Amino acid sequence: MSQENVEIVKRAFDFLGRRDWLGITDADLIDPNVELHGSVGGLEEGKILRGPDEISQGFDIEDQDVWDEHRIVPREFIDAGDRVVVLLREYQRGKGSGVEIEIDTASIVDLCDGRISRMQGYINPAEAIAAAGLSE
């Protein structure tokens, strides 16, 4: 099942890259009670968004208020059984300031019954790998 989990997460990230929240929901890739936990080591650490609507609103508000551009590009998907570690590269350009940032981050995506049930971001990819019980 773990390779299937990797494929599910890849499909979900295709939708997320296009900010297609309706598509990801219609494709039945996420649990209706999915949780997005703020990135460990980031400003949003400790914050939890629940459900597709709350998560999509959180992304839309952040993008409108903070960024002129914000892209998250998956670089690698690592099978960790019922979890998938996704190594990411984020591109951001600040609204108003025009300051550009490029940073490598990661997410741990938990799956249950073939759907994404929880996502936890990490500012430091090595911490995500360790938290998933893997080694670099």
- Domain spans of the chain? 2-131
70-121: per-residue pLDDT in tens? Answer: 788 999 999 999 999 999 999 888 878 888 889 999 999 999 999 999 999 9
Q: Which residue has the tokens 């914000």?
A: 70
48-50 and 67-80 beta bridge pairing: unpaired
Tell the residue number behind the tokens 């002129």, with chain if given: 68
Q: What tokens appear for 96 in the block?
A: 């108003």
pLDDT at site 80: 95
Length of the chain equals 136
Tell me the fold of 2-131.
Nuclear Transport Factor 2; Chain: A, (3.10.450)
Contact 109, 116 (CB under 8 A): yes
